[in-house]
Amino acid sequence: MGLAIAYIIIAIYSIALILIFFYSLAQLNLLINYLGYKRRNEEAPKFNLLDPKEIPFVTIQLPIYNEEYVMERLLDNIAKIEYPKSKLEIQVLDDSTDDSVIETARRVQELQETGLDIQHIRRENRKGFKAGALKEGLEIAKGDFIAIFDADFLPETDWLKKTVPYFKDQEIGVVQTRWGHINRDYSTLTRIQAFALDAHFTLEQVGRNSKGHFINFNGTAGIWRKQCILDAGNWEGDTLTEDLDLSYRAQLKNWKFKYLEDVETPAELPVVISAARSQQFRWNKGGAENFRKTVWSVVTSKNIPFKTKFHGVMHLLNSSMFLCVFIVALLSIPMLYIKNTYGHLGWVFEVTSFFILSTIILFVCYWFTYKSIQGSSFDNFVDYIKLFFTFFSVALGFSLHNTVAVLEGHLGKRSEFVRTPKFNINNLSDSWKGNKYLTNKLSPNMILEFALMIYFLFGMYSAIPLNDYGLFPFHLMLFLGFGFVFFKSITSKA
């Protein structure tokens, strides 16, 4: 019986490792695409915004919900956007249920008095959450092009001048820009988030877009052709990541997306782990929901090549890698004992080299993305090594939380769109203490995260009597990762 269970554990462990290895190979292919694209210089047809006849009408949509701390900053920044006032409309899509509505209405009225075409739009209910707000706003939008910014984004004044011209190409449905981070160095948590997002906005977005593979509008800091939104079926609120959903429906309809790595749109990163938790949960569950909703359409599509289908499937499975990582982590300790109990199964453990190789591939891929933004000096490389393993450990610590999100998404369990609290943190001296949007509720996952911290401490101890230290570094990172997530969650309550 014991041997049968051992075989089952080995099989599940090996499948999870192989899936992670395939993911790392996909990332390696994106790195090759990225490096190849960086050496090319393309000239695309563009609108001439100096010619009044070529200037298209643009609507800026600002979907907001209870954003007391950042509303004034957002509106003041958007009001500075350089674009002919006769061709610009701003919609403040305000679903707020708190007193921030009053202050927003006051500031909008002040901006209206300056001659700005800005509307404060309220709804009867929050049906469809962000997707519902965008859809209702679109019904009355005057613009042929729709730029969208979340409340924590601060586009530069010339943002529209850098993005709108690309729509001269009638096949382009979306222009997406790279996110910047105004509070990157606020804490370990913000540095880790910036690290992960930078990899997505360089390696993944450029790597896919450069070869015509599907990418996603990132929910903000991008601009849509209105016709593209309508042709793709408009915004739908049946997933938590409406941006990924509409992106895939549009590209399945043969719309092209243009990604601009060189146009950075600064934004604020969550500074409290509870805010990062809610954001991670929404992104990872939404990714799984979109896999469930869209993967069959991608696989069976007759108008996209096999390689684009492969990268599309891997893209939709991105969040599901947390499930694979969590399985590998959980089974690594039983595997340690199986290895030392059943000597004749020793050859099986060569499969663990998949995990080491996957880690090396990701280490190389992320270095290229890191140095493209931070520089490639020796000191930066040393900083990168520290940051990579810190990121790796904390990502492992989030694996239970994100696995729950992924499983809910795959199983079709519906949940409310939970916003990420914003703090108006611009520098190291700013504090998040006392933010009224923070919840004091403890997540039940936190108890399990503490238990897992102890479990992997036991895994580290097990190496001593078994005299087998092969998994010790992995268990150390898991212990530190779950410890970081647990203790940060305990100490960051408002």
Bridge-partner residues for 222, per DSSP? 148, 176
Q: How far is CA 282 from CA 201, 378, 396, in A?
A: 19, 37, 18
99 is catalytic: no
Using CA atoms, how far apart are residues 436 and 102, in angstroms rounded to an integer? 17
Return the sign of the alpha-carbon dihedral for residues 82, 85, 89, 95.
Answer: positive
What type of residue sits at position 441? K
Q: Tokens at residue 19, please?
A: 């899936």
Whether the CB-CB separation of 115 and 85 falls below 8 Å is answered with yes
Rounded CA gap, 214 and 232, in Å? 14
Residue 355 and residue 328 in contact, taking contact as beta carbons nearer than 8 Å: yes
Q: How far apart are CA 94 and CA 14, in angstroms?
A: 49
Q: How far is CA 106 from CA 70, 111, 199, in A?
A: 15, 9, 40
Q: Are the beta carbons of 277 and 254 closer than 8 angstroms?
A: no
> Is 321 in contact with 398 (CB distance < 8 Å)?
no
Give the orientation angle of helix 100-112 with respect to helix 71-78, to 10 degrees: 20
Q: How far apart, in whole angstroms, are the C-alpha atoms of residue 3 and residue 281?
A: 37
Cα dihedral 194, 212, 293, 323 sign? negative
Instruction: State the residue for tokens 């069976």.
Output: 300
Angstrom distance (rounded) from CA 54 to CA 167 = 11
Cα–Cα distance between 405 and 230 in angstroms, integer?
30
CB 177 within 8 A of CB 215: no
Residue 243 annotated in active site? yes
Helices (H), ranges, 375-444: 378-397, 399-411
Q: Looking at 94, 152, 198, 243, which residue is catalytic?
A: 243
In this structure, the chain runs to a length of: 494
From 95, 150, 152, 245, the catalytic residue:
95
CA distances, 310 to each of 202, 208, 300, 305, 415 (Å): 19, 11, 12, 9, 29
Supply the residues annotated as catalytic: 95, 243
